[in-house]
Structure 1
Amino acid sequence: MITHPAGEIEHLPFHGTGEMGNLIRAFDWSETPLGPISKWPQSLKIMTGMLLLSPVPIVLIWGGDGIMIYNDAYSVFAGDRHPKLLGCKVREGWEEVADFNDNVMKICLAGGVLSYQNQELTLIRHGRPEPVWMNLDYSPVLDESGEPVGVLAVVVETTESVLAQRRLRESEERFRALTTATSDVVYRMSPDWKEMRQLDGRGFLPDTESPSVAWQELYLFPEDIGHIQAVIDEAVRTKGVFQYEHRVRRADGSVGWTLSRAVPIFDRRGRIVEWFGAASDVTERKRNEEHLKLVVHELNHRVKNNLAMIQAIATQTFRNTADLKEAQTRFSARMVALAQANDLLTGERWVGASLRGAIEQSIRSHCPEEHRCAIKGEDVKLSPKTALALTLAMHEMATNALKYGAWSNSSGKVSVSWSTYADREGAKRLRIEWRETAGPQVEPPLRRGFGSVLIERGLAREIGGEVKMEFVPGGLVCTIDAPENVYAGQ
């Protein structure tokens, strides 16, 4: 309420102290417990003049009723409540935090002081409740007799700073969650890469928790450092991305491979202040790639061998033949046997084949009835070379048994058995026996055909062992004796 004539206002205290100085001088204080300004105690006038000159938000809370007097900076903080707060009791002016202010009045009017950093309160300043964070400092104001009669409150709002810090923390927590969720190694490097500031190895690489200049000796192999350093130097020179796939010393001491990528962090002047990187464990992929190279090399070798074998089969099958159609049939059957052997090896990724699988695949399709074919022996893994040769040999014997041997009548049987044993020198060997029984009476052939040559000479040469064929009256008996190197991996 303005009660002073306009001509008298400028003669009152607080002249030239901004908007709030004018409002205070024009306010009818006689309606408040403070009374008119002319009767204010000197301590109240001095404190009011001081707060009006301060650029910091300050409110003076006077007397037991807590009458508020504040400056321009505080009026901004008050929001829509300004200017209604002037001359108002603090409990009524900020009723949503009345309990908080009651405690402040109680402590300070008893001579105590209070200080809060980033104190959160919920205030109504713009028509709705909103969280506010503030640095608050409260101190008692003494009258002429030295007794506390008021409270001086310095109010600095920190809401924007608190929210910014909270957003930063949330961002950092999301980043930490991201880096924790991934299996990638994360690391930080100095601008020139001389010093590794930190590395979280995730169990793949040894951790570096404090800065280290010896990181290359810890993580890299001497013969690789030059190549890696050249890529680093180029990234530093161009201020670009570092990316390189290279070997590393794993945490368990073994050799590993990593795909490392790092990006530069710049300051406002465009200078690199740090490098932040992530490194993936690609050891298994590199192993698979190396294995694939070996498989391709082996496949090329096998293809050449197969072509040579096909050429030999064709030459022997069609040499001096009188019946071209029969020769074509035999050739086709032999090609099918060769293809089946390759299928068996392909299923085993060309690292070997099952002996039982090779035998069953070769002879089951020729056997007239299930009970006329017996296969017995503990399974053995054959080398690819042995598996191919044995498959073709078994095919030839099965074909012969079906045409002329045990399977050519209604009662003959074929049994294939094998076992391993140690020779006199203790070397491990494999013995396979093909035995025909109850078939037509057989006699040794007058001339060795291609099948016999393939079995006795070709198989013996391929396995580096001995092959013996006996045409006894009861049927063919073929014994194969091979050294240990026929096994897979030998």
Structure 2
Amino acid sequence: MAADTPQNQTSQFPNGGGHTGELIRSFDWSKTPLGPISSWPESLKTVTNMLLQSPVPIVLLWGEDGIMIYNDAYSGFAGSRHPQLLGSKVREGWAEIADFNDNVMRVGLSGRTLAYENQELTLIRHGKPAPVWMNLDYSPVMDESGKPAGVIAIVVETTKQVLAQRQLRESEERFRALTSATSDIIYQFSADWKEMRALDGRGLLSDTERPTINWQETYLLPEDRPAVLAKVEEAIRTKSVFQLEHRVRQADGGLGWMLSRAVPIMDEKGEIVEWFGAATDTTERRQYEEHLRLVVHELNHRVKNNLAMTQAIAAQTFRGDIDLKEAQNRFASRMVALGQANDLLTGERWVGASLGGAIEQAIKPHAPDDGRCTVEGDEDVKLSPKTALALTLAMHELATNALKYGAWSNGEGRVDVRWSTGNDAEGKRRLRIEWRESGGPDVRPPARRGFGSVLIERGLAREMGGTVTMEYLPTGLVCTVEAPENLYAER
């Protein structure tokens, strides 16, 4: 393009403006509706000088055709269309949005303004159409007569911000969907874990809808806090995942167990800004593991007792002058009875039992066959499997002790088991079971309470919902069970 004339004017106007300013000075404006720069009105020159000094993308649309004059910042926005846009008609320069710019010119030249926030337009800037988001502000520019002669536009592209916000919203929606789909407890902490910002307790823990610094008092037991905080400090120091299974105070006031796992969220500098975590309720699993541990302990105890009982039964069966064949048959019969009692203990073949049947089945392998045992009651009671198992374990333990140390450990002692039912003072059904030993060795209270005593007194009392009392009388052990019959009986 040829340089405008006269030369002294092009060298003085416009003032500065960087690369785009040089293009404006060297552009042949005589081939445009604006005419040579020497003929431009002062209003046009003033606005041109102003926009060239601005760091913000600005474009001037002059005249009815909207001839384009812009600055360096806008040339970056124009992309590959620069410098061809300079001096072109806006409707032709941006042909893909001609209707949009036609409205801009109509409104601007009528003296009104327009403003758009995050306006989406499809533009061809780098060889192919692409969506673009912009903040656009349009204002009329007056000539010397005070009439609108052009429109000035401030163009700020917000494409990156819009896409980032959209990506953030999509990420948040996916996160919300994930948290809605899972039954895990979801929580959020500050970078230093001093503030719990939110917690969705899923009904298991109390929700924390507002940030709180008292989360330790709310959820943790005092004796557990040092271990939890030590794990937190390690995760913060190493900027790694926090993971720990620990006890918690539940929303209903009870205690439970949670497997908690939290990940740090980093900023651009690699510094932790917050933590997001999830916690799984492991209370049932922990209870099952504890139950399994007790079962294994009980199994070990049973195996040892069975070996001891087998030895005691053998000693009793083959003691003194006996008919060997008869003794062998009696011993075999007792071994079968012992095996049947074990079937009852494990519940492998039993779904329910009567009170009398459970007692007889439990003590039969241990009781001598010379009439030194009585089992009787005023009426039979149907037991649930769980209650019958607890009672059988207790009777099994009492019979074992009687055979090893009590009334059945000599040839004279006996055991009488009796039960009765009736109403208490409030008219509620009650059951009383009494195990009474007599004629055995002298009885002294044990120096310490073994597993068997605990099983009888605590386990049986808990399962039957009553009380169990063990009296070590000089004449023999007396074990008394008193319980509300309707808690376990199936009438």
Shorter-chain TM-score tier: 0.5 to 0.7
What secondary structure is seen at the aligned counterpart in 2 of 1:279? strand
Judged with a 3 Å threshold, the aligned counterparts in structure 2 of structure 1 residues 327 and 489 are, in CA distance, closer, same or farther, namely farther
1:428 match: secondary structure: strand
Q: Which residue of 2 aligns with 1:315?
A: 315
- Does the aligned pair in 2 maintain the 1:358–1:387 contact within 8 Å? no
1:386 to 366, 370, 392: 392
Displacement, 1:190? Answer: 4.0
Q: Contact 1:52–1:70 at 8 Å: present in 2 too?
A: yes
Between 45-54 and 137-146, the greater mean CA deviation after superposition: 45-54
| Cα offset, 1:210, TM superposition | 1.9
Corresponding residue SS for 1:345? helix
Question: Given the alignment of the two structures, is residue 428 of structure 1 paired with residue 410 of structure 2, yes or no?
Answer: no
**1:165 is matched with which residue?**
165
1:219 is the counterpart of 2:235: no
For 2:245, the equivalent position in structure 1 comes to 245
Output the amino acid matched with 2:389: S
Quick one: which amino acid aligns to residue 301 of structure 1?
A: H
For residues 265 and 166 of structure 1, the distance between their equivalents in structure 2, rounded to whole angstroms, comes to: 19
Matches within 5 A, 1:189-200: 189-200=189-200
Show the counterpart of 1:355.
353
Matched letter for residue 21 of structure 2:
G
Report if the CA contact (8 A) 1:135-1:156 is conserved: yes
Shift of 1:314: 3.0
Instruction: Indicate whether 1:36 and 2:39 are aligned.
Output: no
1:129 aligned partner: 129
Instruction: Look up the equivalent residue of 2:153 and give its one-letter code.
Output: A
The residue aligned with 2:55 is 55
User: Secondary structure of 2:154's partner?
Assistant: strand
Match of 1:78 in 2: 78
Q: Report the Cα offset of residue 234 of structure 1.
A: 5.4
Contact 1:342 1:388 in 2 (8 A): no
Aligned-partner SS, 2:293: helix
How far is 1:159 from its partner?
Answer: 1.2
Deviation at 1:489, TM superposition (A): 8.4
Q: Structure 1 residues 388 and 260 mapped into 2: Cα distance closer, same or farther (>3 Å)? A: closer
SS at match of 1:383: helix
Change (3 A) 1:237 1:29: closer
C-alpha distance in structure 2 between counterparts of 1:6 and 1:40, whole Å: 13
The 8 Å contact of residues 422 and 431 in structure 2, kept in 1 or not, is answered as yes
Cα 1:31–1:238 shift into 2, 3 Å: closer
Residue 89 (str. 1) matches residue 89 (str. 2): yes
Instruction: Give the match for residue 458 of structure 1.
Output: none
**2:21 matched to which residue of 1?**
21
| Pairs within 5 Å for 1:248-259 | 248-259=248-259
Q: 1:53-452 counterparts in 2 under 5 A? A: 53-232=53-232, 241-265=241-265, 273-319=273-319, 320=321, 322=323, 324=325, 331-332=331-332, 334-347=334-347, 354-355=352-353, 379-381=382-384, 382-383=388-389, 386=392, 422=422, 427-428=430-431
Distance 1:138 1:313, change over 3 A: same
2:149 partner SS: strand
SS in 2 for 1:68: strand
CA contact (8 A) 2:120 2:133 kept: yes
Structure 1 residues 223 and 95: alpha-carbon distance in aligned structure 2, compared to 1, 3 A threshold: same
Query: Structure 2: how far apart are the matches of 1:312 and 1:165?
Result: 81
- Cα deviation for residue 131 of structure 1 reads 0.5
Superposition misfits of 4+ residues, deviation over 6 angstroms: 5-9, 356-360, 387-390, 423-426, 482-485, 487-490
Displacement of 1:209: 1.9
In 2, the alpha carbon distance for the partners of 1:25 and 1:194 equals 62
CA 1:483–1:224: 2 relative to 1, 3 Å: closer
Q: Distance in 2 between matches of 1:420 and 1:96?
A: 99
Output the CA distance in 1 between the equivalents of 2:333 and 2:65.
114
Please report how far the alpha carbon of residue 151 of structure 1 lies from its aligned counterpart in structure 2 after TM superposition.
0.3
Pairwise CA distance, 1:130: 0.7
C-alpha displacement at 1:132, in angstroms?
0.3
Distance 1:170 1:344 in 2: 60
Give the root-mean-square deviation of aligned CA atoms: 4.2
Query: Partner amino acid for 1:92?
Result: E
Give the residue type in structure 1 aligned to 2:49. G
**What do the CA deviations read for 1:258-316 (whole angstroms, capped 9, x no partner)?**
22334455566766554443322222122222222332333233323322332234334
Question: Unpaired segments of 5 or more residues in structure 1?
Answer: 363-376, 394-418, 431-461, 463-481
Q: Distance in 1 between matches of 2:430 and 2:27?
A: 116
2-structure distance, mates of 1:263, 1:116: 40
Tell me the matched-pair count. Answer: 398
How far residue 67 of structure 1 moved from its aligned partner, in angstroms, is: 1.7
Q: Structure 1 pair 427/347, CA: closer, same or farther in 2 (3 Å)?
A: closer
Q: Deviation per CA, 1:312-371, whole angstroms, max 9, x where unpaired?
A: 3433455555455x765664554344334423432469xx862279979x9xxxxxxxxx
SS in 2 for 1:137: strand
Q: Secondary structure at the match of 2:88?
A: coil
Taking structure 1 as the reference length, what is the TM-score of the superposition?
0.68
AA partner of residue 386 (structure 1): T
Look at both structures and tell me which one has the larger radius of gyration over its CA atoms. Answer: 1
Code of the residue aligned with 2:2 in structure 1: it is I
